[in-house]
Every structure is written in structure tokens, then in C-alpha cells.
Structure 1
């Protein structure tokens, strides 16, 4: 066995060239390979490899290095340098293919391996320039899963990279960070996968074997579990596991794990019927639409002692909005979550914009962030609380996300207890005695798979809080991707109409009536719920 001269033989346990590590070569494949012209094959030399490299785009070169290099550490180190200099120096390819070919010449099939890599990357123009018939080469390598030269698992991983959108790739990296994988600096999926190989997060290992049995042991289950939670890539999780089973010397079951019940996907994004009429009705709301028995019981004579004081009408307070629209799995969430990723909350940005517009009109200072993981979300709330000044009369926190009973989800699919969020807010000394409002557009369905028992929102122990959920426990909250959620849209509309005259508890009572009425109209059940420890009436404008 001849090892590459420029690579570390101590790392050979990771990945060796397929000609030494793959399944036995099918006799028909040997016949077809023998039919390839020796003259054309022999024309592939170091000089030709150098010329080919100069004509390649950087992303094609990265793919070829990923497929061809034996040792992931070597490939990763060199591609990191390529990634850096290619941003500044056009045409800097660093002789990566030349160095590979130089080290691979001791193997009689290195040219066939190069041809197969070109085929996998669909570089047919290069194959044609080398004098080969593209149809013949495609037939030989594209249709043969047990090809002798490129590791089939690497081919699957390459296809995974090719089918990742930019958004999915960013979510993929964020998920890996939760596994302590330092991958955020990488621009391409191939570099991320090489990092995973280098850190033994996934492995392709050379074994002692007989020629007639599979020759490469793979461990890719952790990667497959992550991919399984991305709906766009779910089929690749199946392909990865299938390929692993074929390649492993012994078919072993994945590491034992307790199967957990599926999480109910909450904060329903329903498109089963046309809700445009509902939102048209919301837009047409006026004072006359509100039933007379739901109007405020405020008397014409104003008692300033029964209400919270608004110190500065030009700055009522701070309204912090956290909009969780895009979710990705994390290591912690995967320990108890179901096999499906939390879906994107299409339409949530509509709610965010409506809240910003509504609260800005009431002279709130608006601070907004999108798609925060658990740690970022907690840090952001703490950061905003530091900005609360003595002139702020009200603190409002709006969270738009998926949820289960007593909890809201961060972007990394980890639930955060609302009671804990309340504790963060309650710790702010300058807010003691001032009203603190939490508006939660999230569901409250029960979930028995969580390793925690969330406090019921009814058991409030902190004073001067008002917590309003989009729906009551055990129910879901409905949202239309093109319009936003029933609850937030109706809430903002009522506040715009009533916010300068009614106190907030009355406003929420009106909102509850309107949400229930509109949802009933369309045959769905949703009932907002308000819990509070307010000691006075809360008006969002200065009265008197």
C-alpha cells in the first residue's frame, strides 16, 4: 500500500482512496474500464492536471479536493488558505490538484479516480477536452454506486452540499455550533464536512478486511440526525444511513436511543381556507364594531390615583420585539425533540411590522431582533433592560414564536420558560412598581417530551405584570403567511383605535372577543388569555 508522500500517514484511519477502501470491483466495471483508451488515460499527466486546475472555478476545485484528498485535515488546511486568498487574488489555486496527483502516482488507478471525480462534479467539458466520450464515462461512473475509485459516502456528502440552499446552510452551521463545532467561518459545505471529519464528528475509517466484504466503516449517524430535521434535505438522511449500512463491515444498529413522542408543531400556519375575509374584517374594525357592553367602564371624572403614571408622553417606554421566524435544530433540542424541525413561521414579519407601527405611534421606543437562539435571546432581553431609564413608564416585551404550554421557542428550537423571562424583567430595579407587559404570539399545547415542567401562566408571583398569550392552554394560535396572525393583527388594530382612551385590560377583553368571533367564523378554536398582577389601570397615553 503506497501512502501519499505529502500527507500524514497517522491520519489514515479517516479516509483513504476508494481504490483501496471501497467495495470489490464488479467484473463488468472492470471490462468497461479496460475499454477506455490507454492513450487517453496516459495523456492525463501532471502538466495536464496543472492546466486543468488553472481553468477551474474555485467552487469546482473545492469539490474535487473534497472528493480526491485522502486525509480531511490536509484537505481542510489547504482549502482554508484557498478560501482566504481567493477572496482577494483571482485565479489563486495553489496547485492543489497537482499536489494530489503527485502523491497519488504510486497507485495504478489514480487517473480513473480523477475521471470519476470529474464525472461526479459534472465537469463534462474537462472530460471532453481530455479526449474521452462523455456518455461512456458517465455510464461507467455515474450509474455505478459501488464504483471503485471515489468513496460512495463522499459522493453522497457531495450531493448533500450541492442541494443545500444558502438559508439551509446557515441553519446547518448554527446547529453544528451547538455541538461545539467551530464552523461559522466556512463559506462552503465541503469545508464544513471536512471539519466534521477532522473532529471525528463523522468518520470514514480504513479496516483490515477480505476482498469480498465491504471495506470501509462509516459513522455518520449524528450528521444524519441533523439532516433529518431539515425538510428540504430529509431524503439525504435516508441515503446517508443506507450508504453507511452498505459500506460497514458489520451492519450495526445506530446507537440506542429512547424514541420520544413527536412534538406537536404549534403556532399553526393554516392555509386550509381563505382567511382574507377575516383580515378584511379586521381592517374595517371601528368603534361601532365593538359591542357596547365591552366598552370601558371609565368614568368621565379622572382619578389619577387609580392608574399607573405616564411620566413622559413623548417617551412612554420601551417596546422590545423578538421575532422568531426561522428555526434550526441544536444539540440540546435534538435530545428530546421530534424528528421534524420546527417549521418556518411565514407571516411573522407582518406581525412584527404591525407591532412596530402601532407602538411607535404611541411613542414607545422600539427595539427589534430576529431569529435569536436561546443564549442570544436571553442576552438581548438583558441588553434592552439596561437601556430602561427613569423616564420610561412602561416596559413591553413582545415574543413571536412557536410555543408550548408556559414556554416559547428560541431559534435553536430550545423552549424557554416564560416564568424565567419574567424573572429577568423583574430583576430590573428601575422597573419596580412600573407596569411590565408581555405579549406572546405562541401556542400553549401540552408536550410531555420536555425535560422540564413549565410553570403555569396562571401562577404569577410577580407584581405589576400583564401577560397576554395569543391562545389559552392546550390550544393553538393561527397565522396566515400572507397577512400575519389573528391575535397580533387584531390586537394592533384595537390598540390603534382604543389605545388613547381605554386601559389595557379593557383593550385585551375586546381583543379576546374579536379573536374568538373571527376564529369561530372559520371553524377554528383560539381564545387569547390574559393573566396579570397589575395594581392599577394601565393606559398607554397620558390622561387628564
Structure 2
């Protein structure tokens, strides 16, 4: 049968509740906001095609979804498969695409009674808005709202367990079985025994394959030491690009001689190109005042990142010690920007890597330059050194990386035609090294080496970037 005719036939056989279930099980791949526009199975299939999860020669994900929602009739009649075949297939390493956590939540929704659901909603009245707990709201929707509010995550089942313990012990048992299965399957040497659920990825085949396949234990250990980066998109890449400082010159007397940041658009274009290849959704804003920078940061702090694995923020502007400038010349604390995304302030990013790249001078040492400008608050013909690089710019919390363009006694250079030394080198090395599977700290080390070798031939100036981080695992940006 023709591929799209087959999909149409399957869509005709799916009920409304089936579509809801399929969308929920696909949340790790299709973000919630995109799902809101999906009203029928055909639209869902199209979205899966766009993500490369549904192809003419590869119907494995569709088969898995139908198996998970127990539509064995469609699986058998239209796809010539069976429940036994799917059970065997999903034991193959890497074959299952629906996470065990997502499937657990779906199973809970399938096993909850109408009365228990009413009680479940009642116990959440202090945590969720009343409009999210109407009688028509399904259990799946309640679980989604809990995820959005940071009340529920694979590493955070406490509230869910507490409620289920009060209402239905059989639901609690399913959660405990999930936790036990996750914890028992993985023992990572060198970490004092078993690791918690947050320290490993979903691979229920680990124990068996570790015995059957030589070297598999080392592979499992390596995966446990890496951040999960398999959602598509991986996350948001927020680019704040300040070029026009006309307002600053007009409103701040001490900034009368500050020129526009010519060449910054070259940096922004490079960041767009590279992070698009790395499967990030690009959000770019240009020429923001200090207030607008805060508003934009807060907007992305408050959004739901549950469907993403990472967050990246790139800020290109003039700066001074510990701050970046808005186009109105007003200051914005780098520390305030980064701490907006701590686990307390942005629960949906808790346990996930938060990466910041700041292109802005951070010091008060000057040298003369002619064709190369500086991202400083001083005269456009001078070069500013980062005399007081402040590590407190990075939050005192795990999973942060802050890449600064400069460090103590070094200046930050920007070509008016080719962009900045730092951002251009960063993008070049990301593009070259990510396909080889190199982690971000190794890449930044290479960036340090390249930038430190560059010279301002006019003033004999040098530049040395410096990353600071609280990452717990290797961060590797995937290409595929």
C-alpha cells in the first residue's frame, strides 16, 4: 500500500483518545506548543515525518506507539506485526524510543478511576490553577501541567508518589517498580556503588547486554557520565545581539563616544548556523535595552523546558566588570542573568545543562587600536582588558557553563567585518569537533588555544577566554 495512503487508513481507525495518547507518548520529540496545533492523526504523522521518526522504510516508531497504546488490531491488520514481535523488538538495544518515564505516566493514566482522578485533582488545588483541574481535564493533561510547573520529572517523583500513596496503592506500586528497575539495572564503578535515577539514561537492556556483549559495561558507564541530549529540538538557543548604541550615546553623557558594535551580526549569523545544525531552536533578539534584556531572560526562564535537554544563551554586547550593557547604556548583571535559570527559578531545567556565552569586555585596561574595536564601555579606539574576571557570575549550583570572551589582563577583540575572535573561534570549533563527539570543555580548551595565539599587530595585544563551570557530566552536542 502507498505510504501516505497507509497512514491515512491508520488515522481513520484511531479514536480521539488514541490521538491524545499518541501525542503524550511523543512529547519527548514534539514540543507541547507544537502539539497544540495537532488536531488529527494525519497532522501528528506529518510532525513525526518532519522529525525523521516516521519514514516509508522505517515504521518502527509508529509500531511502538500503537503497541504502547494497545491498538494491537491496527498493528496486526495494517502493519503486519504483533504484540509478541514488538516485545522482542523493544528488547533490542536502542530500539525503544518512548522513554520508560513517559510510558510509566501513560500507564498510570490508563489505570486511574474516575473517582480517583477527582481526588487526585483535589490534592493539587494548591499547586495548579483551578482552570487546569476542571472535570473535563484528563489525567494525561494533569500530568502535563505538573511537568510544566516542575512538580513532576523523571528525577522528581516525590509529589506523584505522595498522592498515589494516599489514593491508590496499585498506582504507587507501579512507580516504585519503575524506580527499582531503573536503580537496579545500573552500577557505575568509581562512584561508590549504585547511582540514582538522575545519573543514568533509560536503557532497560543494560544488565543482559553487558553480559552478552564485550565492552558494553564501559559503554553504559560512559552514557551515565553524559548529559542526555536526544530531544529534538535539543533546546532553545537564545541570542541577544546588541549592535546599535545610538540611545546610549544620547542618554548617557559618559558614553558619548561609544560606537555601534559593527561586526556583531557576523557573530550572530555564525551562532545561528552552528546551533541550528546542533538541533537547537533559535530565538534571536537584537538591540535590547537593559530592561528588555531582563524581560527577555525572564520570559525564557518562565517557559516550559520539560521537552528540552539543554538551554543555551549567547549575549553579544558592550560590557564592564561583571555586567553587559543594554543599548540604552544601562547595566545588566551577568550573575543575575545566569541565576535566573537555577533549579529554584526554572524548575523545568533542573538537572539539565545551562550554557552561557558572553562576548563583552570585563575590565579596565586600555590599549590603542585602529581597525579592531573593543566591546567595552570606553572610547571606541581603545582595547579593554578583563582585569577582574568574577567567578561569582556563575551560579553556585550544578549544571552551569559560563564561557567568557576574556579573562584577567587580556582584551576582547572584535573585527568590524569578520566578527569577534572568541565567537568566531567558538563556532568554528563547534562545527568541526561536535561531529567527532568531543565534549564542550575539550572544545573550549581548543578555543582558548586558538584565541590566545592571535595577535593585535598594531598594539601587540592578546586575548585569553576563560570558561567556568559546575557541570557534573560530559556535555556533548549531537549532530545526528
User: Larger C-alpha radius of gyration, 1 or 2?
Assistant: 1
- What TM bracket, shorter-length normalisation? 0.3 to 0.5
**TM-score normalised by length of structure 2:** 0.46
State the structure with bigger RCO (CA 8 A, min sep 6), 1 or 2. 1
